[in-house]
Amino acid sequence: MGGVKYIGSFLWCAIFLYYVSINTISVLGISAEQDLSLTPRELQALTQFREIMKPRLEKEHDYMKTDIYLIRWLRAKNLNIRQAENMLMENLKWRKQYNLDGIHNEDWSDMFLDYPYTNDTYDLAGRPIGAFSLSDWDFRKAIAAGKQVRLFRYMIKLLDEATNGVLRLQREGKNVTQWKVLMNMEGFNLVQHGCGSCLPGFSYFVQAYENYYPGFADAIVAINSPAAFQVVLNLVRPVFTAQTRESLKVFGTNRAQWMAYLDKEISRDQRYPEYGGTRKLKH
């Protein structure tokens, strides 16, 4: 019985990671500089795209009319203007249906207690960092409590909040185009984090990231990944693109290894102790 459960969860993980690898992380690893500079082909596509989108974005947020925002949709679709247009129109529709503009005014205090994260630190390039510990995040608990939909709406809120953070920095004149995610995988287990009933929510979440926040992740860094997570990851690794393999930073429990990496990316005063930093948690 335990074995069957294990295989089920294992398959789930494999499918999830495969999905993540092909859909989500292929756009990682781009520096703000690359993000901000356009190739001649990009510039040409952007000029057309801007004209097409202009009347449709009239009543939308100002940031949606900026080149740095518009180019995301083109890049996500390999500069295919028609596809980029559909993608951005879908995004606008979804934001309204899902009431994204109101999401930050909802009371999330219960979720924050059960699924805490920090969002007040920045990497050396000035990108906002969202960090959380998987040991705090018991997905199965939310599902058992019938809070599945709420949990994933909360996770979407985090995506949107991080993205708003980037947009705010841009308004302040900073060259920041992406955010970073730090995950402490210590405590990862197939029961709480890999349950079969977690799957629909996860795939929904990954799809939401891919469709509505394309290219906003600079890197997703996992530290203290236990063997169970790494075994699954290694099995699906061959399906990753070269760029993905380079961008998804998965570290095991060897502290020296992840410390060396994190020290190059994020100063210690911008890391909480579990990430080897000196920053103190406010309680």
Ligand X SMILES: *[C@@H]1O[C@H](CO)[C@@H](O)[C@H](O)[C@H]1NC(C)=O
Please give the residue ranges that form the binding site for ligand X (CB under 6 A): 33, 36-37, 112, 119, 128, 161, 165, 173, 175
Q: Locate 242 and state its tokens.
A: 């070269």
Task: Give me the least distance between CB of 239 and ligand X, in Å please.
Answer: 33
User: Of the two residues 17 and 158, which places its CB atom closer to ligand X in the complex?
Assistant: 158
User: Of the two residues 38 and 92, which places its CB atom closer to ligand X in the complex?
Assistant: 38
Closest by CA to 38, choosing from 28, 25, 47, 26, is 47
Compute the distance between CA of residue 88 and CA of residue 73 in angstroms, rounded to an integer: 7
Task: Give me the least distance between CB of 174 and ligand X, in Å please.
Answer: 6
User: Of the two residues 116 and 196, which places its CB atom closer to ligand X in the complex?
Assistant: 116
Task: Give me the least distance between CB of 84 and ligand X, in Å please.
Answer: 22
Compute the distance between CA of residue 205 and CA of residue 211 in angstroms, rounded to an integer: 10
Task: Give me the least distance between CB of 159 and ligand X, in Å please.
Answer: 11
User: Of the two residues 130 and 277, which places its CB atom closer to ligand X in the complex?
Assistant: 130
Compute the distance between CA of residue 208 and CA of residue 211 in angstroms, rounded to an integer: 5
Q: Locate 273 and state its tokens.
A: 């102790």
Task: Give me the least distance between CB of 140 and ligand X, in Å please.
Answer: 23
Strand 179-184 vs strand 128-133: parallel, antiparallel, or unpaired? Answer: parallel
User: Of the two residues 164 and 253, which places its CB atom closer to ligand X in the complex?
Assistant: 164
List Cα–Cα distances, 14 to 21, 24, 48, 231, 236, in angstroms.
10, 15, 40, 10, 6
Residue type, 107: D
